[in-house]
A and B are shown apart, each in its own frame.
Chain A
């Protein structure tokens, strides 16, 4: 066990946890934040995407030891009232089908727009291809990212 201090959704947090435990399970099991999803556990599907210092990161492969002193943002903290431009664009385009992968998709998209405010289709493909959606909502996601970029 180790004591790890970091910033979660803007608030300082100290946890006594197994330093090898991935951030995903600390979020879901220890801190009760269920918005970040488990999909594969090997950083291949993107369902667990969070921001580490603003950059999209797969939390299933990020040990808590690496989280110390970092700024972590989850889907719950992306905006206070759920009105981040990406979230609004997702609603505008009614993107979700089952919705399970969408937290991760939204976190990847928000990170992309931070570094690339007006992404091309190729930029979107590059940033989003690590996020799988079995329902097949990719075309709507792309349209929603373009909409969010205009906001």
Chain B
């Protein structure tokens, strides 16, 4: 690479090429990223970068800068999304540099990292953007050489003509920028891919291993103050009063004050939370000084009352009730047991499940539970903010800039175009950083102290703040006839505060008589996205249940699933089945083969299998377990995934390996327990995370090869790990595990 980075102010540069107006785009359109270049002559663009569209800039000496629209939290989008652009642009990857785009809803849409959507949502727009730029370069060369555009070919960043003429993209970039942007351009066929499907190293790898300041917590500006916030020690408590007199005398302290995160009576928008709406801010010159002053702060708390608020989910409004009171995990389990006996909302019903169960020769019924889980991103929540009367700048680790923009514009009474958001690399996200409360907090503090501020949570602040994976339970029932045929299936799931049931997922569609029900118990403990929160519980419960059912039916666990899928394919029951039976079966078949499941030498091993469909992809695992010093240990795992085209195979394998390790850790050890509203786990001394010595020695990952447009990968491999671990644990110990985390069976429910 000849150069690595432009010295231009990126934001002002991008703004110069954006057309006015336009609200946030709900769907991603590559074309909006092209309109600026369409209207601006190349001469008006600052050199040396020539912008062909919002994603692609080229220097005269042929360095190609590709913009990554979505924030990076370890799923490697800063490499895989530009790879999609480079593919259709026909760029030479060696000449590519990548930059993270700032938030710009007009140019890039939602820029949402979450729901395993990054590659899926941007696949087509990025291909179009790449192909369109390639067309403009070919057109420029055709004009320059006086030949028909059809005769200009491209290869690895070079334009050529049969006459012997050739030019680099850089040499034609200025002229290309004057060409009208085509609305669509012809795309390559998967057989011609030369970048996509070919592993590329993480573009930020070198920066990571040399400790460059990539993360939100590393961000600084001159004159910046450091802030922390004190939240109530228990869910169900709120601020009563505080005495800052001693704390204010501590060195380096600038201000201590209480504030409301959101204004009283404000409607709660998407991804907004009101866990602790009144906080005490401690603002000073450095982290250590603020930490020390915080110890001298005296705060009185009082019970928070019940409250009602209006949720406004992008226009869809409903009222939500939050109870007061101090909740304990043991009492919550008791409450769930009680609630589970009551009638629930019917989510789906096929055939006549009541009669099927009444006539059954045999019924298998099992109940599963799981506690709250904390995200424990290795980088705690933090955000830089500088809010003045007429504009605001936020820089930090966040997953959903498009939604945060709306929240921030509302909170600070600013038009959206006065709210600038820059996304840093995230030290993990897993759903947690879709909730922008910490951005709002940083902004309110900045506005109050009239200075740029970086808000940083301690680990304890982070772990005790809420937004957890919900607490769940589900009871599964299966009805068998006298010949051990499955004639009825019933799932009734509940949760605090949301139920986990996906009513239209497998085995819905495969059983003639099927019933899915759900119920919910409100709580003041807040919850949020957590690497497929409902799915990771369901995959544990349902896949354990199927394993036990297969045993009862005298079937191999693969055979039971494949037989059901065969039925769902041949004669699907009901409507809205949301999975493709062939792709599901394809993953199981590949997994069975690669794991050597049927080989006699593997039969004696303590192996468990599970497979699950979520976020548009199919994933299955076989895990092999032993007892080590009396404790369950997963030695070896095999994974099979169908997520369509795999853009960056080695990075995709890395993500699946990570999901396997993370899944084993959460299944065996993860859990957050409350006593009187106080989380018992506040840091990594009590919240057990999987560690090096507990990770498998061997993780083997296989992808189904097909040309289907890419679907999700961040979440899908995670949920079925829980089920496979549960099933291997049964083989290892001879005992079924029903309560997560299995390593402590949540201490027999506390």
Interface set of A (CB-CB < 8 Å, partner B): 18, 21-22, 25, 28-30, 32-42, 44-45, 47, 74-76, 82, 87, 90-91, 94-103, 106, 121, 124-126, 128-142
Contacts and interface: CB of A to CB of B under 8 A. Distances in A.
**Residue among B205, B208, B684 with max Cβ neighbours from chain A (10 Å):** B208
Given A39-B380, A137-B657, 9 more contacts: A37-B378, A37-B379, A37-B427, A98-B72, A98-B378, A102-B208, A125-B693, A129-B693, A134-B689
Contacts of B205: 90-91, 94, 96
B213 interface: yes
A39 B209 contact: no
A35 B217 CA distance: 11
Contact of B73 (A35, A39, A82, A98): A98
Contact of A25 (B208, B287, B657): B287
Contacts, number: 183
A65 B376 CA distance: 31
A108 B655 CA distance: 23
A133 B210 contact: no
Contacts of B689: 132, 134
Interface of B: 72-76, 201-202, 204-206, 208-215, 217-218, 220, 226, 286-288, 376-380, 425-430, 456, 458-459, 650-651, 654-655, 657-662, 665, 683-685, 689-693, 695-699
Contacts of B684: 39-40, 42, 44-45, 132
In terms of DSSP, what is the predominant structure of the interface of chain B? Answer: loop
A99 B288 contact: no
Nearest to A29: B286
Contact of B428 (A28, A42, A75, A134): A134
In terms of DSSP, what is the predominant structure of the interface of chain A? Answer: loop
Given A98-B426, A141-B692, A132 B378 contact: yes
A140 B685 contact: no
**Residue among A124, A131, A137 with max Cβ neighbours from chain B (10 Å):** A137
A74 B650 CA distance: 29
A125 B693 CA distance: 5
B101 to A, nearest CB: 19
**Residue among A47, A87, A135, A139 with max Cβ neighbours from chain B (10 Å):** A135
Given A75-B211, A91-B205, A136-B658, A18 B288 contact: yes
A82 B427 contact: no
A136 B427 contact: no
9 contacts: A22-B288, A40-B459, A82-B206, A97-B74, A98-B74, A98-B428, A136-B658, A139-B696, A140-B654
Contacts of B288: 18, 21-22, 25, 29
A132 B75 CA distance: 18
Given A25-B286, A82-B206, A97-B76, A35 B458 contact: no
Contacts of A30: 286
B211 A36 contact: yes
Contact of B697 (A74, A106, A139): A139
A34 B425 CA distance: 14
Given A97-B75, A98-B427, A139-B695, A47 B378 contact: yes
Given A134-B378, A135-B662, A141-B692, A100 B215 contact: yes
A39 B202 contact: no
Contacts of B458: 41
